[in-house]
Structure formats: C-alpha cells, structure tokens
Amino acid sequence: MPSPRLDLLVVADHFRGGLGAAAQAHARWFAERGWSVALAAHAPVAGEIAPARAVEVTVPGGAADLAGMVAAARQLRAVLRRERPRFVHAHGTRSQMLALLAGRVPYVTMHGAGRVEGQGAPGAAARRAARLVASWLAIRAYSASPAPGRWRTTLHASPRLTGLDRLPPSTMTGGPTVLWVGRLDAPKQPELFVEACAAAARDRPLRGVMLGGGPRLDEMRALVARLGAPVDVVGETPDVAAHLARSWAVCLFSGFEGVPFAVQEAMWAGRAVVLSPLPSLRWFAGDAATYAGDVPAAAAAMRDLCDRAVAERRGELAAERARDLLTADAPFEQISADYAARR
C-alpha cells in the first residue's frame, strides 16, 4: 500500500542564512496549519522545523559544480518518488534547477539579485539571462525584490517580526552605537563598516558593534586593531535583540542583496539604517534610509546619526516604512491562495 502523499515539499539551497530561514518559515507556516510538509536542504537539523520534517539533500555550493548538481538531483528525484508531493516550492534558483533536473517544475522564490563578488561582465550578463529564463521555468515565480521577467514581487518577512515590537528610544543607551548584523564574508563588505567607524570616531563619540560569523572574522578583528577603530567584533551571538535595542542605527554595506532580514528587523524595530545604494534596498527602504557606497559617505552618515534626535527621527521613518510594506506573516497567505488555485 503506497504511503500518503506529502502536501508540500520545500527545497532550499541551504538550511542557514536568510534564504534558509525563509525556507524554514515557509515549511513551518504550512505545517502548523495542518499540511504534511518536508524541507529538503543540505544538512537540515531534525526537529528544528517541527512540525515539518527535514530531508537531507546534499545541495552543492554552486550550480557550476556539475557533478554535485547531478548527485543532488538524483537524491531529490528519490525524495519526489517516495513522498509524491502535491506541491514543490524551491527557494533559490539553484534549488529550482535541481527540481527541474529531478523531473518536477516547481514554484520558486528568489531572495537575492545582482552581481556576484569578482564576477566579470560576461558572467554578470549570463546570470541576468539565467534569472530571466528561470522565471519562465516555474509554475509561479516570486522575487523578494523587483526583478525582470515573470517574477512576481513578493516580500518575504523575517520570521522574527512576529516577536519583535517597535523599540522605544529609551533603550538607546550607552551613547551613539552603530550595529552590523550579517555574515563576515567578501560580498557583505564588512571592512567598509570598520573603516567608516574609525573615520567617524575621529570627531564623534561613536562605537560600532559587529554581530555575525564567517571566514573574515579574524581579518576584521585584525583590521580593528590596526586602525584602532572603536568596534567590538562580537561574532556569532544569540543576543541580537539586546544589541538591536541598544543601537542607534544599523548598517549594511553589501555588494549583493535582496531585502535582507537584518534590514527588515532593524526598520521594524524603529532603528535608523545606513545601506548600500543597491536597487533592491532603495526600493524597500525608500527615503527612510541613508545610502552610502564608500567609506567617506558611510562615515558622514554615522556622524549625522550621533545626534540622538536625528537617529530617533530616522528610526521612526524606518518603522513606518517597514510597516507600510510588510506584514509579519508575508507572503504565505498569498502563496497558500496560489496553491489552492491549482488544486
């Protein structure tokens, strides 16, 4: 006797990071509403997405790893045969490619857009073309920020928004503090944050705090020491909310982003944000953010936010902007309706 069909299989490029968190939230949201759901990803943690199930698929680090992609597609094909899911939803175009190789056209959500660090013009053009084609190779294609083609712009709210209230200015203690939340890796350009803090602190009483791990953690600590920058490199920590409450502003200087959860959370909580001038971030934050693409501009923005009144006012604008665009459970009601239309 065949086993019951799975209602939904969510496939993710990886289990951690913003994309992984979005895929986990997707699986949990539907599982909590009575659907049978499994999340297929590389190194998932059993029990962490309960009541959904975790399924191991060894997704390679990039689509250029052809042998890894073929092996992962075989694993996914076995999952599809065993589980017979009614709906397959891929997070990330690599996962979409795996679903197609495994013989299933999925729904797909894209979370980032833009260039890849070190990628030349031909590679960037090929990437744009692949994104455009990918939107046609899906039952429905969702993008967390505007993208060309058949992508439907659908904001994916951070799972933490449901438990995050607007923070009162009274929690901004300890003097002007700017916060970095993110992976310490080349695409995030963490050195810009450290160098800007050092420059701004020459004539303002500023302190920086860096939260997050990654391959450049030791490098950032060495850079702080070399510059004498007033920056605490905390690394990975479960205490992000407490640091956010004490901060006066949150900075993100990345060369490649969609609408990252760290920015959503900072704005939702009512903290000023200083961001890279990327199209996706300008679209999301609008006039509520300050934009800086180099050290002088970032340092100038930090100096301005050392004025408490300015920081509070910019934080209020940020909170209003985030709430205009987001609901805490976005976009699952819409996705659920789209699934229902194809039942």
For residue 331, whether the previous peptide bond is cis, meaning omega lies within 30 degrees of 0, is: yes
User: Same domain, yes or no, for 229 and 132?
Assistant: no
Mean pLDDT of 283-306: 97
pLDDT tens readout for residues 170-229: 999 989 999 999 989 888 999 999 999 999 999 999 999 999 999 999 999 999 999 999
Report the pLDDT averaged over residues 62-73.
92
Checking if the pLDDT of 251 tops 50, the result is yes
In this prediction, residue 326 carries a pLDDT of: 93
Residue with token string 């980032």: 112
Residue 256 sits in the same domain as residue 281: yes
DSSP 309: H
Answer with the residue of higher pLDDT: 255 or 322: 322
309 and 336 together in one domain: no
Q: Is 13 within a domain?
A: yes
Of 33-37, 109-113, 170-174, 236-240, the least confident: 109-113
Strands (DSSP E) along the chain, which ranges?
Answer: 8-12, 37-41, 53-56, 87-91, 107-110, 112-113, 141-143, 152-153, 177-181, 207-211, 231-235, 249-252, 257-258, 272-275, 290-291
Taking only the tens place, the pLDDT of each residue in 255-285 is: 878 899 999 999 999 999 999 999 999 999 9
Q: 337 and 293, same structural domain? A: no
Between the two ends of the chain, the Cα-to-Cα distance in Å is 24
CATH number of the structural domain spanning residue 137:
3.40.50.2000
* Structural domain includes residue 2: no
pLDDT value, residue 117:
47
Tally of CB atoms within 10 A around 140: 19
Q: How many independent structural domains does the chain possess?
A: 2
Tokens found for residue 275: 């961001």
* 254, 189 contact by CB (below 8 A): yes
The parent domain of residue 291 ranges over: 161-325
Instruction: Tell me if 217 is assigned to some domain.
Output: yes
Lowest mean pLDDT among 53-67, 85-99, 111-125: 111-125
Beta strands 8-12 and 87-91: pairing type?
parallel
Q: What is the mean pLDDT of residues 306-315?
A: 97
Cα separation, 96 vs 135, in Å, equals 10
What's the mean pLDDT in 51-72? 92
The confidence score (pLDDT) of residue 125 equals 62
Give mean pLDDT, residues 152-171: 92
Element (H, E) at 323: helix 308-325
Are residues 130 and 13 both part of a single domain? yes
Q: Give residue-wise pLDDT tens across range 98-140.
A: 999 999 999 999 987 554 445 455 555 666 677 778 899 999 9
- DSSP letters, 74-134, are HHHHHHHHHH--SEEEEESHHHHHHHHHTT-PPEEEE-EES--TT--HHHHHHHHHHHHHH
Indicate if 174 and 315 belong to the same structural domain: yes
Q: Has residue 135 been placed in a domain?
A: yes
Joined tokens for residue 60: 């390679």
The whole-number pLDDT of residue 149 equals 83
Give the whole-angstrom CA distance, residue 202 versus residue 200. 5
What's the confidence (pLDDT) of residue 4?
81
Arithmetic mean of pLDDT over the chain: 91
Q: In what order do the strands lie in the sheet with 231-235?
A: 231-235, 207-211, 177-181, 249-252, 272-275, 290-291
Q: Is there a single domain that holds both residue 224 and residue 94?
A: no
Dihedral class, residue 18 (left if φ above 0, else alpha if ψ from -120 to 50, else beta): alpha
Judgement on whether residues 320 and 211 belong to the same structural domain of the protein: yes
Q: Indicate whether 334 belongs to any domain.
A: yes
Residues 33 and 138 in one domain: yes
pLDDT (average), residues 315-332? 94
Does 195 share its domain with 306?
yes
Q: Does residue 1 sit within a domain? A: no
Same domain, yes or no, for 65 and 80? Answer: yes
Structure tokens at 225: 């020491």
Nearest CA to 248 out of 272, 265, 268 is that of 272
Average pLDDT over residues 51-74: 93
In a domain, 196, yes or no: yes
Q: Are residues 217 and 332 in the same domain?
A: no
Torsion of CA 110, 113, 119, 125, to 10 degrees: 90
- Does some domain include residue 104? yes
Give the residue carrying structure tokens 């059993």. 46
